[in-house]
Structure 1
Amino acid sequence: MALLEIRNLTVEFETVTGLFRAVDGVDIAVDRGEVLAIVGESGSGKSVGMLAVMGILPRTARVSADLMQFDGRDLRTLGRRERRTIVGRDMSMIFQEPGSSLNPCFTVGTQITEVLKVHTDLSARQRRDRAVELLEAVGIRDAAERLGSYPHQMSGGQAQRVMIAMAIACNPKLLIADEPTTALDVTIQKQILDLLMGLQAQHGMGLIMITHDMGVVAETADRVVVQYKGRKMEEADVLTLFENPSSPYTRALLSALPENATGDRLPTVADFMAGEGRA
């Protein structure tokens, strides 16, 4: 049995002009200890689908699925209280923008210990000690002193590490990383990816990496799901995807990579799809 299995997931939003379908009949499965990359350009429904799994979409969203099962439990039938016992403990998410995901009014120590307060029986002293341990685990120096820092006092890379510390605080079975290296410089990107992969291997977590960066996919993934305009275009193991992609859209993505360019002008997805005889 897969750790997470989703069949025919559809997410629609109510707008002033009617319903907008952001995710259209997507199937996804990830096993324990597996790294699954969900790749596609902005607006392809990558993040929305995983937010639906976490149950944190706004009320304007309409979510339906034939199956949405995590660790043997049907997520479609869980009440809010039951879902809160899973989300943040067994299933965690690293959000795309740490600067806006961390609360600017509270120290990072308060925000990490709050996760532990909700999901564990640790005492206040034990929660603080665990928070120090987590910051050390994600590579933040002087961890005990940094517990008193506010998010604005930390660099982008440090803030992302704090987000990772919060996400792994309860040793989740599944970790969803939504564009974890966005807005970070290249050196810090490599450090964050190495950190995530090391933690995944150490704890045996299932890891879903949401990205539009094919380089990240090549470095991290066991399997890859390619999405376009809310639909799944292709699913393959990472080697097959790069060597023999079956979908015209996947070939378009790969052909648009700078290292694959053969002319003076970088090809676009639209160029490639037109060359395949598709609109």
Structure 2
Amino acid sequence: MALLEIENLTVTFDTASGPLRAVDGISLSIDKGEILAIVGESGSGKSVSMLAVMGLLPWTATVTADRMAFEGRDILNLSPTERRRIIGKDIAMIFQEPIASLNPCFTVGFQIEEALKQHMGLDGAARRKRAIALFEAVGIPDPEERLSHFPHQMSGGQCQRVMIAMAISCEPKLLIADEPTTALDVTIQKQILDLLMNLQSEQGMGMIMITHNMGVVAETADRVVVQYKGKKMEEADVLSLFETPQHAYTRALLSALPENATGDRLPTVSDFSIEGDPYQGAKTEGARA
């Protein structure tokens, strides 16, 4: 049984100009201990798909799916109380902008201990001990002192580590990492990726890595889902995807890597004749389901 199974997920937003379909029939699954990368340019529906799983989309969004199951249990139709027992504990998410995701009015220690109180039922002393251990695990120096800091008193890299500590605090079975290295310098990016890979290996979590960085995909993923304009273009194991990409959009992504440049300019999507219906290439070129 897959850890997470999604079949025909659709997300539509009500806007002033009419309905906007951000995710259009996405299907995917992930097993325990596996790393699945979801890759595509900004606006392709990667984050929205996973926010739908987390139940964190605004009221203007309509979410439908033929199936959305975690360990075989339907999570789309859970009551809010039942969903809260799973989200944050068994399924956790590292958000794209850590400073914006942390509450500026509370210390980082209070915020991580709140998660431990909610999902683990630990008393005050046990929560603090666990929080210190988590900060140490993610490489935050002087963890006891840092617990009393507010988000604005910490660097971007430190706030990202706080977010990771919060996400793994209840030992989730599935961790969703949404662009976890965005806005960080290259050195910190490498540290964060290494940290996530080590934690994933140690705890045996399934991990969904949302990214537009094909280099990150090559370094981290077992399988890859390629999205474009809300649709799944291709799915393959990471080696097959890089060696024999089947869809024109996937080839465009790979060709846009600087190391693959062959002329004075990098190619664009229009160079691969996939304007208009983004799914046309998959229909005509036999993209992997």
* Residue equivalent to 2:192: 192
Describe the SS at the equivalent of 1:2: coil
Aligned residues: 277
Describe the SS at the equivalent of 2:26: strand
Distance in 1 (CA, whole Å) between partners of 2:218 and 2:111 is 33
Q: C-alpha displacement at 1:272, in angstroms?
A: 2.3
Distance in 2 (CA, whole Å) between partners of 1:118 and 1:273 is 51
* Residue equivalent to 1:27: 27
Show CA shifts across 1:81-116 (max 9, x none): 000000000000000000100011111100000000
* Residue equivalent to 1:86: 86
* Residue equivalent to 1:44: 44
* Residue equivalent to 2:139: 139
- TM-score, normalising length from structure 2? 0.94
Distance in 1 (CA, whole Å) between partners of 2:245 and 2:267 is 17
* Residue equivalent to 1:262: 262
* Residue equivalent to 2:273: 273
Distance in 2 (CA, whole Å) between partners of 1:88 and 1:273 is 42
Distance in 2 (CA, whole Å) between partners of 1:256 and 1:6 is 30
Q: C-alpha displacement at 1:273, in angstroms?
A: 2.6
Any conservation in 2 of the 1:4–1:69 contact (CA below 8 Å)?
A: yes
4+ residue runs over 3 A deviation: none
Distance in 1 (CA, whole Å) between partners of 2:128 and 2:221 is 34
Distance in 2 (CA, whole Å) between partners of 1:274 and 1:26 is 19
1:49-198 to structure 2, matched below 5 A, reads: 49-198=49-198
Any conservation in 1 of the 2:6–2:65 contact (CA below 8 Å)?
A: yes
Distance in 2 (CA, whole Å) between partners of 1:197 and 1:86 is 23
Is 1:229 aligned to 2:265, yes or no?
no
Describe the SS at the equivalent of 1:163: helix
Distance in 1 (CA, whole Å) between partners of 2:140 and 2:71 is 32
Distance in 2 (CA, whole Å) between partners of 1:170 and 1:274 is 43
Any conservation in 1 of the 2:248–2:274 contact (CA below 8 Å)?
A: no
Distance in 2 (CA, whole Å) between partners of 1:83 and 1:98 is 23
| Backbone CA RMSD of aligned residues | 1.1
- Percent identity among equivalent residues? 73
Distance in 2 (CA, whole Å) between partners of 1:205 and 1:65 is 24
Show CA shifts across 1:29-69 (max 9, x none): 00000000000000000000000000010000000000000
Unaligned runs of 5+ in 2: 282-289
Q: C-alpha displacement at 1:274, in angstroms?
A: 5.9
Describe the SS at the equivalent of 1:69: strand
Structure 2 letter corresponding to 1:9: L
Distance in 2 (CA, whole Å) between partners of 1:270 and 1:85 is 46
Show CA shifts across 1:228-252 (max 9, x none): 0000000000000000000010001
Distance in 2 (CA, whole Å) between partners of 1:154 and 1:254 is 36
Distance in 1 (CA, whole Å) between partners of 2:147 and 2:88 is 20
Show CA shifts across 1:183-235 (max 9, x none): 00000000000000000000000000000000000000000000000000000
- TM-score, normalising length from structure 1? 0.98
Describe the SS at the equivalent of 2:273: helix
* Residue equivalent to 2:215: 215
* Residue equivalent to 1:2: 2
Unaligned runs of 5+ in 1: none
Distance in 1 (CA, whole Å) between partners of 2:186 and 2:85 is 36
Any conservation in 1 of the 2:35–2:209 contact (CA below 8 Å)?
A: yes
